[in-house]
Structure formats: structure tokens, C-alpha cells
Amino acid sequence: MLKLRDIQAGYGEATVLHGISLEVAAGEILCLLGRNGAGKTTTMKAIMGLIPVTAGAVLLDGENLAQIAAHEIPKRAIGYIPQGRRLFAELTVAENLEIGLMVRGHGSATREKVLDMFPRLRERLRQRAGTLSGGEQQMLATARALCIEPRVLLLDEPTEGLQPSMIALIRDVIVYLREQGVAILLVEQRVDAVLSIADRVAFIENGRNRDTVDAAALRADHSLVARYLGV
């Protein structure tokens, strides 16, 4: 469904990605692993068109997203949950969701469905997003992206700084979305947080691909992880 073919991207003069290739199918969780500064967040920004892709292609069902305006990309049903959540802090919970709903013109049916997944948000609809707890903020960032009714979902370190109960909730949601046929690209730093749900794991280093392996193989042999991450 989503396919990155040898993309280069960066910030201003500095090229950060030197040819990244990935492929995520519908109903699959591809986990992107790599050390701090490897280029995981940059890869997601390149997919969303937030930084220019200077070479290669970002293909969604054959269409090259690198050639369309950034604000058109989410309308292709791509939901993005940025690192650090990036909520509209001064807006209320309801307004943050409204921004998500407006992307593809969804209405109260979608909103209700999403709120059923995160009942805590329903109690806080009129509260400013910046005043939510860390876990609630992550719920809202996820809910906002789900308001797009995404076919592809990009999650950048969604469990960063969360309590175990909240991590479990986020994982349940991700697994549920996979069952619904969503193509999921998941970035994590901690291997143990993803090994149990990922289908495949792509390792990246210094803006370049290393191997992509089946998660089952990693689960069977933990020493592989140490080798790829060099820890």
C-alpha cells in the first residue's frame, strides 16, 4: 500500500536520509527501529511532505506523494501521530478532534466511534488539550489521527514517557487497527515495546536502511536485535 523507494530528504542543505526504502501492506505493522538521530522522524516527515523529498518516490497505491502539495497528502487517508504528540495545546479536546474530522469531511459518526475507543476524552471535550495528562494527550493525538479514518497510520514513538497501563492501551488500539486493515508504520526506540506486535522490523542507521526482518525471527532469537542495534 505505502512504498518508499530510495528516498532522500533533509533539512535545508543537510541531507539526512540517503536512500530509504520501505514497504507497508494493508493490515500490517512495520516497525522502524534505529538509534536516536537515525532518521526515523525525518522519514515520517518526508512521507507527510513536511520536508522536501529530493530524490526517490513515496508511493501510495502507485501515486507519488512526493509530487503533491503537503496539505493534500493527509486527504489520501494518511493519519500522522507525531513525536511529542504536537497537539494544538490552546485548543480544546473537541477542537483538536474537529481538525482531524475536517481532513476528509467526516462527521459525528466517526467522532463517536473514536470517542468510544477513548472514553476518557469524552469526559474532557471542553478542556484545553495542553492541560491534559501525558497519557490523555497521547490518546488525543491518536484520536485526532483516527478522525481521518486512515488507511495508513504513522506513529512516531507513541509510548514515549507513558505509564505501562497507557502503553497497553495504545498497543491494543494499534493491534485493533491492523485487524481493520490499516497499514501501520510504527517508530519505537525500545525493542521490547514493539516486538510482540510488529509483523516486520526495518532497521535504519544514519539515514540508510539496514536489514528488514520478520518480527517472528527476532522474537525467536533475541541476539539478532543486539546485533542490528549494535547494543
Ligand X SMILES: Nc1ncnc2c1ncn2[C@@H]1O[C@H](COP(=O)(O)OP(=O)(O)O)[C@@H](O)[C@H]1O
**Which of another protein, ligand X, Mg ion, none does residue 26 bind to, with CB < 5 to 8 Å depending on kind?**
none
The span from the CA of 198 to the CA of 6, in Å, is: 23
- Are 69 and 50 in contact by the 8 Å Cβ rule? The answer is no
Site for another protein in 80-139 (CB under 8 A): 80, 82, 86, 88-91, 95, 98-100, 102-104
Closest contact distance (angstroms) between CB of 12 and ligand X is 7
Q: Are strands 152-156 and 53-60 parallel, antiparallel or unpaired?
A: unpaired
The span from the CA of 113 to the CA of 19, in Å, is: 39
**Which of ligand X, Mg ion, another protein, none does residue 86 bind to, with CB < 5 to 8 Å depending on kind?**
another protein
Site for ligand X in 16-55 (CB under 6 A): 16, 34, 36-42
**Which of ligand X, Mg ion, another protein, none does residue 56 bind to, with CB < 5 to 8 Å depending on kind?**
none
Binder to another protein among 111, 124, 144, 151 (CB under 8 A)? 144
**Binding of ligand X at residue 165 (CB under 6 A)?**
no
Closest contact distance (angstroms) between CB of 74 and another protein is 4
Q: Where are the alpha helices (DSSP H) in 28-149?
A: 40-48, 93-103, 108-117, 119-122, 134-146
Which C-beta is closer to Mg ion: that of 24 or that of 32? 32
**Binding of another protein at residue 168 (CB under 8 A)?**
no
**Binding of ligand X at residue 159 (CB under 6 A)?**
no
How many Cβ atoms from other residues are within 10 Å of residue 196's Cβ? 10
The span from the CA of 65 to the CA of 78, in Å, is: 11
- Are 56 and 4 in contact by the 8 Å Cβ rule? The answer is yes
**Residue ranges in contact with ligand X by CB under 6 A:** 11, 14, 16, 34, 36-42
